[in-house]
């Protein structure tokens, strides 16, 4: 019973599995305030220096940050624009850099989709935020959430991170002249270091870790001998070798 005079008592909080979508979006936004988001923001601060040195305007830098979002693809497009590549070669280069996001999106789909309830437009919105930072966080934490809350939580997380990064990239672009080049370069290098550590920590299969080790070994070789296609061949050969190797070992053990 409510206390005397308490006409409108505070309602009890909703159980986790019945919380509305907006509640889960807010929780996702709160979860975005994290060390991974700060590291990604620092990397985009470094990219702002690269964009300015490459001759891109503030509007071009922000448009690429907002629409493309994945940092490796943004860097590839920046390099293509500054090197004078045509539209078709530049689009092909960005497509190659972004093709890695397709299997990530496919892996995330069964986690966030509720058959018969989830709308296509909701999945399209969520797909824009699929990048390494959000994907690693989602694959690690979303399975512990109720099915109804996973998609809005992910959208809230991704929208908050991307919005904050967007704003900080613009501020960094205007202030980069005051930043020592060594600092800007160090901030930019935080991204691959963070990606490697995050993927290793989120890996649940031996094949995943074997693929990363193979990539670290083969990447420099392909960079020297097949420049421009080094990421493609590293992923194709390293991933295939890791999968086949771990499969053979598993059969041998069993």
**pLDDT tens digits, residue range 64-78?**
888 888 887 888 788
Report yes or no: 98 and 73 within 8 Å, Cβ to Cβ: yes
Q: What is the pLDDT of residue 253?
A: 63
Could you tell me the residue ranges of all domains in the chain? Answer: 16-202, 204-254
Q: What angle do CA 199, 201, 202 make, to 5 degrees?
A: 65
* Crossing angle (nearest 10°) for helices 35-53 and 181-202: 140
The whole-number pLDDT of residue 159 equals 92
**Cβ neighbours of 85 (radius 10 Å):** 15
Q: Which of 6-10, 19-23, 130-134 has the lowest mean pLDDT?
A: 6-10
Residue appearing with tokens 């988001």:
37
Helix (H, G, I), strand (E, B) or coil at 199: helix
Query: In what helix (H) or strand (E) does residue 122 lie, and over which residues does it extend?
Result: helix 120-128
Confidence of residue 101 (pLDDT cuts 50, 70, 90): confident
pLDDT value, residue 73: 82
pLDDT at 92 over 50: yes
pLDDT(10) > 60: no
Assigned token pair, 161 = 């991170």
pLDDT surpassing 70 at residue 106: yes
Per-residue confidence (pLDDT) for residue 14, from 0 to 100: 43
Inter-residue contact 45 to 184 (CB < 8 Å): yes
CA distance linking residue 111 with residue 191, whole number of Å: 26
- Per-residue model confidence (pLDDT) at position 44: 85
Helix axes 21-31, 147-175, angle to 10 degrees: 40
Q: In whole angstroms, what is the distance from residue 216 CA to residue 71 CA?
A: 19
Q: Backbone phi, then psi, for 140, in 5-degree steps?
A: -85, -35
pLDDT at residue 188, as a whole number: 66
The pLDDT assigned to 36 comes to: 76
- What pLDDT score does 199 carry? 67
User: Over the chain, what is the mean pLDDT?
Assistant: 80
Instruction: Give the residue-averaged pLDDT of 119-128.
Output: 90
Q: What is the mean pLDDT of residues 112-126?
A: 89
**DSSP SS3 for 244:** helix
Tell me what pLDDT residue 203 has: 66
Q: How many other C-beta atoms lie within 10 A of the C-beta of residue 32?
A: 21
Percent of the chain whose predicted confidence (pLDDT) is above 70: 84
Of 58-62, 97-101, 213-217, the least confident? 97-101
User: Tell me, what's the pLDDT at 19?
Assistant: 61
| Helix (H) or strand (E) segment spanning residue 82 | helix 71-82
Spell 55-79 as b/e; 16+ CB within 10 A means b: ebeeeebbebbeebbbbbbbbbbbe
pLDDT attached to residue 160: 93
Q: Is residue 85's pLDDT more than 70?
A: no
Task: Look at residue 6 and tell me whether its pLDDT is greater than 60.
Answer: no
What is residue 27's predicted lDDT score, i.e. its pLDDT? 92
Tokens of 188: 């930019």
User: Would you give the distance in Å from CA 140 to the centre of its chain?
Assistant: 13
What pLDDT score does 3 carry?
A: 41
pLDDT at position 111: 92
Cα–Cα distance measured from residue 147 to residue 144, given in angstroms and rounded to the nearest whole number: 9
């Amino acid at each position: 019973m409510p206390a005397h005079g308490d006409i409108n008592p505070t309602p009890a909080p909703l159980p986790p599995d019945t919380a509305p979508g907006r509640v889960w979006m807010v929780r996702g936004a709160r979860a975005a305030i994290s060390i991974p988001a700060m590291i990604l923001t620092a990397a985009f601060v470094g990219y702002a220096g690269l964009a300015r040195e490459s001759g891109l305007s503030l509007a071009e830098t922000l448009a690429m940050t907002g629409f493309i979002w994945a940092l490796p693809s943004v860097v590839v497009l920046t390099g293509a624009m500054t090197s004078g590549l045509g539209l078709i070669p530049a689009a092909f280069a960005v497509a190659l850099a972004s093709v890695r996001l397709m299997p990530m999106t496919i892996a995330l789909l069964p986690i966030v989709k509720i058959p018969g309830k989830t709308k296509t437009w909701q999945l399209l919105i969520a797909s824009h935020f699929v990048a390494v930072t959000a994907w690693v966080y989602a694959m690690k934490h979303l399975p512990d959430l109720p099915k109804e809350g996973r998609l809005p939580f992910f959208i809230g997380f991704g929208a908050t991170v991307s919005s904050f990064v967007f704003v900080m990239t613009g501020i960094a672009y205007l202030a980069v002249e005051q930043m020592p080049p060594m600092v800007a370069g160090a901030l930019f290098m935080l991204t691959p270091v963070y990606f490697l550590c995050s993927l290793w920590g989120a890996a649940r299969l031996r094949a995943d870790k074997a693929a990363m080790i193979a990539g670290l070994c083969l990447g420099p070789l392909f960079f020297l001998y097949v420049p421009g296609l080094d990421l493609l061949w590293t992923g194709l050969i390293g991933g295939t070798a890791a999968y086949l190797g771990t499969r053979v070992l598993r059969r041998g053990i069993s």
